[in-house]
Amino acid sequence: MSSLRSHDDTWDIATSVGSTAVMVAAARAGETQRDEPLIRDPYAKILVDGAGTGVWEYMLDEAFIARIAEADAEVAEIFEHMGNYQAVRTHFFDDYYASAVASGIRQVVILASGLDSRAYRLDWPAGTVVYEIDQPKVLEYKATTLAKHGVQASAERREVAIDLRFDWPTALRDAGFDPSAPTAWLAEGLLMYLPADAQDGLFERITELSAPGSRVAAETVGVHSEERRARMREKFDALRAKFTDVDMSQPLDVADLMYNDPDRADVTTWLNDHGWTASGITSEQAMRELDRWVLTEEVDEDAFSEFVVGERQ
């Protein structure tokens, strides 16, 4: 279980779980700058630049990455892997939404949306409504920052400012959500920050709100051995001690914010047992298919997440 989380914790964009949203946006910004990017997010860097000082600043600094490589080749490889993973994950779920709206779905819900910019950067059909659920300070930061740069959503975007541990279905309905209409749900970068019972509760609520023909997509949680977690934590602590000129006040090892819960349900199985038809692909397979796998160390296959999609019957 996480040592840095509690049942009633909260955060803004630069602390705790909120800081991971900035790190993910930094990864999208880095991918966008590549010669042949898998995804293009022209708003990611804007969101990173406005988030203040943090390790995310250095994720886009080639000189810093070179210093990491000199200090510890394994950590440098993990940095590259993390960036590739975020690109492949984003690519996968972008395709999921393209397929959902092609099927006629016009109601979209992004759970724990963080700095997700899909409401702004994807080409949504006319009439699409995108509901973003997250903590109030996170949603406020994103909307305010992008508005300052004249960025407008490409769909009708509705904020649902509430913690997912509270009564978010009521808040979602109050924002105009129609449970009788098919919905495309997304739980990306979320389940690892929930304990096992909260994950079950989340999907129970999604199922209750989903009309036939609805779709759901989720990134599952890989389970890392305590031995490997401890070894990587030592490496990151050593980097903090070495690079005293770099602000690493936010954790490089975000696993400290996650719930490493061995009792967590398999998402594909849960969905198939509760009125959905679901299937998944391992993140390793998705990364290899796109030629983005760089890890040379053999890692337990349970350590890798799956990307799951399902349709409500």
Which region among 157-171, 177-191, 225-239 has the lowest average model confidence (pLDDT)? Answer: 225-239
* CA torsion, ordered 308, 76, 60, 236, to nearest 10 deg: 90
Q: Which one is predicted more confidently, 88 or 14?
A: 88
Note the pLDDT of residue 15: 54
Note the pLDDT of residue 79: 81
Note the pLDDT of residue 263: 84
Residue that the structure tokens 């690493």 belong to: 248
Note the pLDDT of residue 2: 42
Q: What is the CATH number of the domain that holds 203?
A: 3.40.50.150
Note the pLDDT of residue 138: 93
Note the pLDDT of residue 310: 98
Task: Flag whether 299 is in a domain.
Answer: yes
Task: Flag whether 40 is in a domain.
Answer: no
Mean pLDDT of the chain: 87
Note the pLDDT of residue 14: 59
Query: Among 266, 30, 8, 271, which residue's Cα sits nearest to residue 135?
Result: 8
Task: Flag whether 93 is in a domain.
Answer: no
Task: Flag whether 24 is in a domain.
Answer: no
- Residue 5: pLDDT band by 50, 70, 90 thresholds? very low
> Which amino acid would we find at residue 186?
L
Q: 131 near 115, Cβ under 8 Å?
A: no
Note the pLDDT of residue 92: 98
Task: Flag whether 47 is in a domain.
Answer: no
What contacts 234, CB < 8 A, 6 or more positions away?
none
Task: Flag whether 90 is in a domain.
Answer: no
Model confidence pLDDT, tens digit, residues 11-32 = 456 555 557 888 899 999 999 9
Model confidence pLDDT, tens digit, residues 220-244 = 987 666 676 677 677 677 777 777 7
CA 1 to chain centre: 19
Q: Domain range holding 184? A: 104-312
SS3 at position 287: helix
Note the pLDDT of residue 58: 64
Looking at the predicted structure, is the pLDDT value of residue 59 above 60? yes
Q: Give me Rg for the CA atoms of the chain.
A: 19
Number of residues written out for the chain:
313
Per-residue tokens: 214: 């609805």
Task: Flag whether 252 is in a domain.
Answer: yes
Task: Flag whether 57 is in a domain.
Answer: no
Which region among 102-106, 201-205, 223-227, 302-306 has the lowest average model confidence (pLDDT)? Answer: 223-227
Model confidence pLDDT, tens digit, residues 276-309 = 999 999 999 999 999 999 998 777 667 789 999 9
Looking at the predicted structure, is the pLDDT value of residue 66 above 90? no
**How would you classify the pairing of strands 156-161 and 129-134?**
parallel
Query: What's the structural domain count of the chain?
Result: 1
Q: 32 near 125, Cβ under 8 Å?
A: no
Which region among 158-162, 300-304, 308-312 has the lowest average model confidence (pLDDT)? Answer: 300-304
